[in-house]
Structure 1
Amino acid sequence: MTAPAPDALQTPSLPRRLACMLYEGVLLFGVLMLAGLLYSTLTQQRHALQGQHGMQAFLFVVLGLYFIGFWVYGGQTVAMKAWHIRLVDAQGRPVTPKRALCRYLASWLWFLPALIAAWLARLQSSATIFGLLVVGALAYALLALLQPRRQYWHDHLCGTQLVISRPQPRKKR
């Protein structure tokens, strides 16, 4: 299969990508709840703060496996399928595991500045930290408007792009 010309690949609108991200968050809630239950059962965790850093590391790996797996094998997570968005490399080909790992790690740029600011300011309020994360994520999303193809910065960094991917029409019998 030959890759389409990069000019033929259309970037989904920013509101569409943000809606997909919101839907992804809803789906990931269930994934992370099950992963957290598995971790706490296997480690016999009795208190939420007991083994907190181990749980965070475990969930980071689970998220990585989720995203990298879907991106490499099909180019779409469940939410991306629903919103007809696909991840491809800069030439329009499927992403490699190495490129998918790069994108997963770089995608934390959505949240890293806000988390560092919360840590430096020694913020304790969950509501304040959540607000800071929302503002930081929206600011990061708006930075895509500065890119010529309106891609996110972590996609530019990793040589990937999000494109519209309409399903093939079904053949009538």
Structure 2
Amino acid sequence: MTHDTVNALPCPLWRRLLALLYDLLAVIAIAAVMGLVCQIATHGRLFDAQGHALTWWFQPLQYLTISAYFVVSWLRGGQTLGMRPWRIRVTSASGTAPSWRQALIRLIVAWLPVFLLELQTAIGMRGAIYAALGGWALWFAVALIDRRRRALHDIFAGTEVRRIDN
């Protein structure tokens, strides 16, 4: 990492959220390409008429592919596609690149609200989506009170998101 990263300021929450919106576009594209490849691989029999996946491996493969996008981005330069235009970077607490361990912990803790979607059978899809969004809101709300502006997944992983303005 460059010297300006080590001395960079903590990233404000609004920048992180805008970068996350940009990354949402990348995630949608990754999921769409993965869906197309899987449809081709199953000769169009990936979903039934109601839209349910007919294979056990499709959803885990999507999670792994999307997870790889984030982990590889954090390890190779500390930035996802969404972080680049907002000039922010994931670092360790000392300002160096995050380790594999830190990247995996960050990923796992950040993914936890997704599992609230499994509540859909009990509370319906709308309620499950609100539960997951509420979970992420709590994860990021921590950044409003943490003096280094770390979200919950950064606290657990020992990482920070920093501005790299010059």
Cα pair distance change 1:132/1:82, threshold 3 Å: same
Q: Is the 8 A contact 1:24 1:79 kept in 2?
A: yes
How far residue 146 of structure 1 moved from its aligned partner, in angstroms, is 3.3
Q: Look up the match of 1:132.
A: 131
Q: Look up the match of 2:117.
A: 115
Match of 2:59 among 56, 59, 75: 56
Taking the TM superposition and a 5 Å limit, the aligned residue runs for 1:13-92 are 13-46=12-45, 47=47, 48-51=51-54, 53-92=56-95
Cα pair distance change 1:88/1:5, threshold 3 Å: closer
Residue deviations 1:103-161, cap 9 Å, x none? Answer: 1112113434x436x25x7123x333223322332222112223231201111111111
Q: SS of the residue aligned with 2:94?
A: coil
Consecutive unaligned residues in structure 2, runs of 5 or more: none
Q: Look up the match of 2:151.
A: 152
2:100 paired with 1:97: yes
C-alpha RMSD of the superposition? 2.4
Residues paired across the two proteins, number: 162
Aligned counterparts of 2:68 and 2:62: Cα–Cα separation in 1: 10
Aligned counterparts of 1:45 and 1:5: Cα–Cα separation in 2: 47
Cα pair distance change 1:5/1:94, threshold 3 Å: closer
Query: Which amino acid is 1:62 matched to?
Result: T
**TM-score, normalised relative to structure 2:** 0.83
How far residue 40 of structure 1 moved from its aligned partner, in angstroms, is 2.5
Cα pair distance change 1:22/1:5, threshold 3 Å: closer
Query: Which amino acid is 1:29 matched to?
Result: I
2:142 paired with 1:162: no
Percent identity among equivalent residues?
25
Aligned counterparts of 2:9 and 2:101: Cα–Cα separation in 1: 24
Aligned counterparts of 1:153 and 1:16: Cα–Cα separation in 2: 16
Query: Which amino acid is 1:163 matched to?
Result: R
How far residue 62 of structure 1 moved from its aligned partner, in angstroms, is 0.1
